Amino acid sequence: MPQKLKYSIVIPAYNEERVIGSTIDKTVEFFRKQKGTFEIIIANDGSKDETSKIVLEKIKKYKELRLYSNEVNQGRGAVLSNAFRNAKGEILVYIDADLAIDINLFPRLINAIEEKNVDIAIGSKHLKESEVEYPKIRRLFSKAYFMCAKLLLGTSVKDYQCGFKAFKRDVLLKILPYVHSKGWTWDTETIVKSIWAGYKVAELPAKVVNVYGRESKVNLLKDVKTMGKGLLRLRREKKEFLKNFYSKT
């Protein structure tokens, strides 16, 4: 009988050939030192570079490593949802491909779930104890997004977009059918609808690790517009979501 996995760590990747090999090495090394069995899933979102090739070479070295691929680029949210549906762990985790958030946050996320009985534990760059330096424009955008989400959606999470989150398996799989975003709004939609459904979310201070020589994939003007539309869509969907969710639980 196959051993039950404790953790599934999903790493979304799109054209990450510059960092994915190193990220796999560091992640496997880290999780082999933790308690509990695990798998690491590289969720390749239709990369056009050598990302898949590098992962396949690493699979020969690491028995814990798996590759899930979308044939064409669909968006980070889409590849995360699909990868999580194929994950086997009791606790589902995702980490950004550049490891921009210090991986040592992991035990604290797990402690929140296992010892404090929260349903979702997320890293946050915007708590007093967080260690982060961002350009002023990024900080202003993040604060404005938090305020808009609080006003429109009635939630008070300070950082929806931090690339380090852990979920109880049953909670995430119950919410995913109601998550429609295929892009960057996936995090907000997943967290907000979980809160609306009555699940407990905890934010923990994160430490940002500088990733030198890496160009940011954030396009502020484009992403502000997209995420603003996403908040308005979620506001419109709230009543229907609650009706549908509770009719099936």
Residues labelled as active-site residues: 187
Sign of CA dihedral 79, 85, 87, 90: positive
| Count of CA atoms in the C-beta half-sphere (13 A) of 172 | 25
- Summarize the chain as % helix, strand, coil (round to 5): 45, 20, 35
Query: What is the distance between the alpha carbons of residues 198 and 96, in angstroms, rounded to a whole number?
Result: 27
Angle between helices 136-153 and 220-247 (to 10 degrees): 30
Those residues whose C-beta lies under 8 Å from the C-beta of residue 36, and which sit 6 or more positions away, are 6, 7
- 8 A C-beta contact, residue 79 and residue 16: no
Give whole-number Cα distances, 79 to 13, 107, 113, 246, in Å.
9, 25, 24, 27
